[in-house]
A and B are shown apart, each in its own frame.
Chain A
Amino acid sequence: MAEYASPNPSGGNASAAQGQMSQRGEPALRLTGISKAFGAVQALRNVDFEVYAGEVVGLVGDNGAGKSTLIKAISGVNIPDSGAIYVGGKHVSITKPSDANALGIETVYQDLALCDNLDVVANLYLGREDRTTIIPYLVRPMNEIAMEQRTREVLEQLDVKIPSIRVPVASLSGGQRQSIAVAKAILRNAQVVLLDEPTAALGVAQTRQVLQLIRRLRDSGLAVVVISHNLADVFEVVDRVIVLRLGQRVATFDVRNTTPEQVVSAITGAEFGEILSTGNSNGIGNGDSNGDSAQSSVSQENDQ
């Protein structure tokens, strides 16, 4: 039980994680005291969040736990009611998506936002095409060759295999499309990449492909946040798991010494008999579901 990270909302992290943190210095992205209400619904309550360069953080939680709201606060889609955001230690203000992009934060949404009728190169460069100037301000055609070369480099760097980068992306598989959406973020020199359900619609082989891709992102020094329902995937690729429940951060785990059951219990608010610690403060002891239902959600997750 010693390795079990204390699921304490105010205390935050396990000692192991704390130790790592002090070694790594300033997080690439840090949020403190984020709150957000939609009318009467308090979607986020005083949430802290941090992800370091060269780390993959899994952001998990049940439906309505506040994952999406948190991601939208980071990506500039929603502005939080209170709280502060730090990028590389500097206090920043993110009020619109382009603010986030300018700070090197890129979000890959579940629906990928690709234009099916355009080819891979066109999609990667959409909205920021590389252009050459023939007559200033007047004749500035796209520099197709430079774009295609850079596209090949990025795809090679990410080890993404695509038969031809000049075919419409409609003809690619789900995994390839996911890879292209990620490559799009890399091409924009992202420092922090948020991936929303990256494996949700993928088959086994394609999921593997995307998980490999996430590892390569981490190895190249990016800070990666993966939002996922699929604990099996989360455990395969992330370094730390941050659990949200009912708008609060209820637990942080180091995956090296955590079991999926422990994460599930934190997600659902239930605890297993052996680790049930009523002495634990407000955060988790008051779960309304019992151990049985937690057990069943574990198997559900693993079935996916």
Chain B
Amino acid sequence: MTSPSSAESAPAAPKVEPASAGLLQTLGDRLRRGELGQLPVVLTLILIFIFFEITSGGIFFSPQNLSNLILQIATIGFLGLGAVLVLLIAEIDLSLAAVSSLCGAVLVVLSANGASALVALISAIVVGLVIGLINGMFISVLRVPSFIVTLAALIGYTGVLIHLLPNASIRLIDPFLTGIATNYLTFPWDVLLPIPLIAAYVVLQLWTRIRRQRAGLPQSPLWEVIARTGAVVLISVIALIVFESYRGIPYSALILLTALLIFWLIMRFTSFGRHVYAVGGNTEAARRAGIGVVGIRVTIFILASTLAAIGGILASSRAISASAQINPTLLLDAIAAAVIGGVSLFGGRGSVWAVVLGSLIIGSLENGLDLLNQGTDVKLMVEGVVLLIAVTADAIVRRRNAASGR
């Protein structure tokens, strides 16, 4: 059960194309118009994989390293998902990393002071939720720019974090909480759990096709459906084999994928999701259509901070401790993951699966450069360049579409 990949882009992405045009020509056109969704990103990811596999002398593709990679990106993935939601309504949340670290610290401090694992977990998540509510109120109700509100939140919560951990760091001992990031879903559950999901996806595709046929609606070309479904199944099976040949599916990967799946369903199939895209695309039109724009904005900021809290919990669990020092690249990584995955900074364009691709690219770069014994200096430089390329591509696609009246 991995990313329902490339073609699964925003709901806005056209699924129906005139079948008359040749396949290659269609692909070329859509590439130029930025309509292929995440295919270019997927190709980039494959290139990065191949590069590191060769230069690391075959270590990169070892099941152990790939499992490790997934553990590394779990936190980025959660923060990135929050960043996607916020970017979709054309806002920004600079406090994601600070909130994440703070909530991780809340978890560890409570646990160290004798709270049960459940109480610690719920408290950490509630703290994230309340922070999101406060951010959202200032941004949506009082209309203070999100950049400033979340910048203030970033500074303020960094202070709270330092206050909470006067000794700079504290260990996490609770075996359940440390187990979240260090334990694996093992055989047979790691196989039995994803297979029905993959089957459900294939059935959903077929069922939609049959229902459209019955309703007399135009169909997307068969090759596209087969390619998309096939890609999802193939990637899922490969991921399963990789996980299986090491220890199983890491719990944190399972949690992240569940969250992605839920948010994909919400954003793609519910009216709430559609309203989020509408607010990001044209706020005034959304307002006139009777959509509660204020409510949507507040909800998105609550969701983003709550996801950041879950990311912080996973980070604390993996580090077996909480630190007063916030990972300086975490925020950048999260926003970069969203943007690299094709989420527009200008709102209304992108899919939650962007997070998988974006965080895989960032995670692979960090992981691969580690394998090559490169320091933080090189990692940061490479990451900066990759982010710049992604943002440039977004701006170019946007301008080209605007220029051709699209």
Contacts and interface: CB of A to CB of B under 8 A. Distances in A.
Given A126-B278, A126-B291, A127-B291, A142 B271 contact: yes
Given A119-B14, A142-B271, A128 B290 contact: yes
Contact of B271 (A109, A129, A149): A129
Contact of A168 (B14, B211, B270, B405): B14
Interface stretch (A27-35, A110-118, A226-234): A110-118
Interface stretch (A159-167, A216-224, A255-263): A159-167
A115 B278 contact: yes
B288 A118 contact: no
Per DSSP, are chain B's interface residues mostly helix, strand or loop, or mixed? Answer: loop
A182 B189 CA distance: 54
Interface residues of A, number: 32
Interface string A97-139: 1100000000001010111111100100011110100000000
Interface residues of B, number: 37
A164 B16 contact: yes
B285 A166 contact: no
Given A164-B16, A166-B16, A167-B14, A113 B288 contact: yes
A117 B348 contact: yes
B192 interface: no
B274 interface: yes
Nearest to A170: B406
A140 interface: yes
Interface in A144-177: 145, 148-149, 152, 163-164, 166-168, 170-171, 173
B215 interface: yes
Nearest to B402: A170
Per DSSP, are chain A's interface residues mostly helix, strand or loop, or mixed? Answer: loop
Contact of B215 (A117, A149, A166): A149
Nearest to B287: A113
Max count, chain B CB within 10 A of own CB: residue among A115, A127, A131, A168: A115
Contact of A117 (B212, B216, B265, B280): B280
A166 B14 contact: yes
Contact of B286 (A109, A127, A145, A163): A127
Nearest to A97: B288
B217 A152 contact: yes
Nearest to A163: B18
B19 to A, nearest CB: 11
Contacts of B291: 126-127
A141 interface: yes
B245 to A, nearest CB: 36
Given A98-B290, A115-B348, A117-B12, A129 B285 contact: no
Contacts of B286: 115, 126-127
Contacts of A116: 281-282, 348
Contacts of A131: 271
Interface of A: 97-98, 109, 111, 113-119, 122, 126-129, 131, 140-142, 145, 148-149, 152, 163-164, 166-168, 170-171, 173
Q: What 5 A-B pairs are tightest by C-beta distance, nearest first?
A: A127-B289, A117-B281, A115-B281, A117-B348, A113-B285
Given A116-B348, A119-B12, 7 more contacts: A115-B285, A117-B280, A126-B291, A141-B265, A145-B212, A163-B18, A168-B12
Interface of B: 10-12, 14-18, 211-212, 215-218, 265, 269-271, 274-275, 277-278, 280-282, 284-286, 288-291, 348-349, 401, 405-406
